[in-house]
Amino acid sequence: MTDLRSADPAPAGIDRGDGAAAPDIRLEDVTKRFPETVAVDRLSLSIERGAFYAMLGPSGCGKTTTLRMIGGFEDPTSGRVFLGGDDVTDLPPYRRDVNTVFQSYALFPHLTVERNVAFGLERRGVKKAEIRSRVGETLELVELHGLGRRKPSQLSGGQQQRVALARALVNRPRALLLDEPLGALDLRLRKQLQLELKRIQRDIGITFVHVTHDQEEAMTMADRIAVMNRGRIEQAGSASELYERPRTEFVANFLGVSNLIEARVRRTDAALAEIETHDGAPIRLPADRLSAAHARDGRVKVGVRPEKVALLPSGTAPRDGANVVRGVVSVVAFLGVSLQYVVTAHGGEELTVIVQNVDGAQPEGLGAGREVLLAWEPSHTFVVADEEEAHAG
């Protein structure tokens, strides 16, 4: 396959990357103010060459505005934008070595697939033979070989999105910016294209920056994810790091489901910390997960993911050393591959437990109204700062 690479060889609000390579894209203390709001608030980030980087967050968190400032479609109120080490803050979009794929495909309905893909090359005066070669290679890359003479109206939504992707890639940009590109597709097709986008990015090796509000989409595709909230980066890292070790309540709840219980730190040693929930249950966890920022006054929120918890009938002995919370089953829901339990803990919290559907039947002693134990390993416990602590300072 022909190489389609470009010819050119954390406190909150900051992602300095992991230092594995020189940054391909860098934002330095960027702020964007609109008359009624601050959309992006002193945000700094570094995206290394060849990364698949996702900006994830709810509507209004600043992710699309950040992408538009990278692409040149919005000017920052303050701060600088760098591509490949060059300051491009004041350059218009057409002078930046990036291309953007939007949720709306913006294809020319009167042109064939081939002409849509070739449009940018034709405007740049590339020779016809090279245009033919590059368009053919790019259509093959996005698995549209043989459909070049069709019009957009003769294609499915997924095929139209591939045309938009091919049109952006054929120019061999330094980076590809993806603004919710799969949002208009149905669930089955969206999942299929998630894997295909990941394959394409791996094959061509250029930097992808992907904006989405879909946590599963970000986790499926991205090497590194920045979770954004209120115009800042709440936490950045790999999907597994963010899921297993969230630092704030917002990240814990936005990236999956978390069981969080108010508690107070009792003691710590070199290996383990011991925390007591507000109703007196002792919880242990590795000491290195408890930082001063989490416990400025000794109060914390301790968490565990639903699939990490074993649900046991009252009176059953849990494994030695396990953390245990007692409660009553309030809801049982059959989800096909799993059973979801909602348990009201003795301290008043509603906690969720996911149990894999192995036997095709609900286990005895775990029906609604039954007393149960929720047990999990200390190593599966995390501690988060609350919302106010996360944004303090």
* pLDDT > 90 fraction of the chain, expressed in percent and rounded: 65
Angle 266-267-272 from CA coordinates, rounded to 5°: 125
- Homologous superfamily (CATH) of 14-244 is P-loop containing nucleotide triphosphate hydrolases (3.40.50.300)
Selection from 322, 291, 296, 320 nearest residue 309 by Cα: 322
Chain mean pLDDT for the chain: 88
Backbone torsion region of residue 116, taken as left when φ is above 0, otherwise alpha when ψ lies between -120 and 50, otherwise beta: alpha
Q: Are 99 and 177 spatial neighbours (Cβ–Cβ below 8 Å)?
A: yes
Dihedral of alpha carbons 324, 330, 332, 338, sign:
negative
- pLDDT tens for 125-181 read 899 999 999 999 999 999 898 899 999 999 988 899 889 999 999 988 999 999 988
Helix (H) or strand (E) holding 39: strand 37-48
Instruction: Note the pLDDT of residue 288.
Output: 86
pLDDT number for residue 261: 94
Give 174-197 pLDDT, tens digit per residue.
999 999 888 777 888 888 889 889
Whether 12 shows a pLDDT value over 90: the answer reads no
For the whole prediction, is pTM greater than 0.85? yes
Q: Among positive and negative, which fits the CA dihedral 56, 59, 65, 67?
A: positive
> Which residue is listed with tokens 């290996």?
271
The pLDDT score that the predictor gives to residue 303 is 95
* Domain regions of the chain by residue span: 14-244, 249-391
CATH architecture of 249-391: Beta Barrel (2.40)
> How high is the pLDDT of residue 7?
38
pLDDT digits (tens, 9 = 90+) for 294-332: 666 778 899 999 999 999 999 888 889 999 999 999 999
Strands 23-34 and 78-83 turn out to be: antiparallel
Under the banding of pLDDT at 50, 70 and 90, the label for residue 75 is very high
Judged by DSSP in three states, 250 sits in: helix
305, amino acid identity? R
Residue pair 27/66 in contact (Cβ under 8 Å)? The answer is: yes
